[in-house]
Amino acid sequence: MEYRTLGNTDLKISAITFGAWAAGGWMWGGSDSNQAIKAIQDAYEKGVTSIDTAPIYGMGASEEIVREAIKDIPRDKVQLLTKFGMRWDLKKGEFYFQSKDNDGKDVDIYKYAGKESVKQEVENSLKRLGTDYIDLYQIHWPDVTTPIQETFEAVAELIKEGKIRHAGVCNYTVEQMKEAEKYVNVVSNQVPFSMVNRDIEREVVPFCRKNGKSILAYSPMERGLLTGKMKPGQKFEKGDHRADNPYFTADSITKTNAFLEKIRPLAEEKNATLAQLVLRWTIERPGITIALAGARNSQQSVQNAAAADIELNSGDIDLINDELKKIS
């Protein structure tokens, strides 16, 4: 495994980080908690020491799964990344969308990051995670109803209290990052990035590289699209958010699979799966610090971890990029 420094801190995180959204089941058609726990533990054995979760992932389920998975691991040997600012248990802030929890009950999701909410959320997360500090605390989505100053002054207080070590953001624009930076040292931005979704390379990546901020790339596999296992007409379990995602139309899957077939010989040459090749390419991109790789079972998580061991030379990367240009 490769370890990289988080922003301008002394914290090292694994280049492949375990993304625990799917482990929580929510919007992924459910999950087996025992398999998810083993997935985290087996990934740790392969060097994946960093775990990214959030309260909203299963309405607390993901954080509780993480707690169970790491209970026998020394706390200073893992890095816990979690989030705040998405409430299903409080109707305040900006209404985001209606969803269902893991029991099938309707829930309304709100983006809210008022001071009192931030303070309450961190206590809830600390309890669910079974720890007394969080390594990286990230606002999940911008909250247009609360001044950024209020939110991040609250986060700065949490750092002083020792409840969190570092502050990060998710899905923030450059301007939003600049505003948050006035009140706390923002060390990272967690944003969507994949071979087929590279919008952040226009503004966010240059800003973060220039200012020493880490980029944590989420959905690098584009929610499974880039594994090569999706087929036109793919059927998803009830409650799976991918059913209505434009990346999973028949045309999109067909187009993407044609690209993946072009780079399959390179994967075979490296004795790697397509998914592993995609993950390695992701963490080779300029400005990308880590890739968040989700898994719901041990086989997936161990395979994800092995992506860090693949070696790509400049010619390999050029080959992939040349094929990508044909579908962009």
Q: Catalytic pick from 44, 57, 96, 247?
A: 57
Quickly tell me which residue has 């390999």 as its tokens: 316
Identify which of 45, 103, 38 has the alpha carbon closest to the alpha carbon of residue 66. Answer: 38
172 an active-site residue? no
Q: Which residues pair with 98 in a beta bridge?
A: 108
Identify which of 121, 89, 96 has the alpha carbon closest to the alpha carbon of residue 111. Answer: 96
Residues annotated as part of the active site: 57
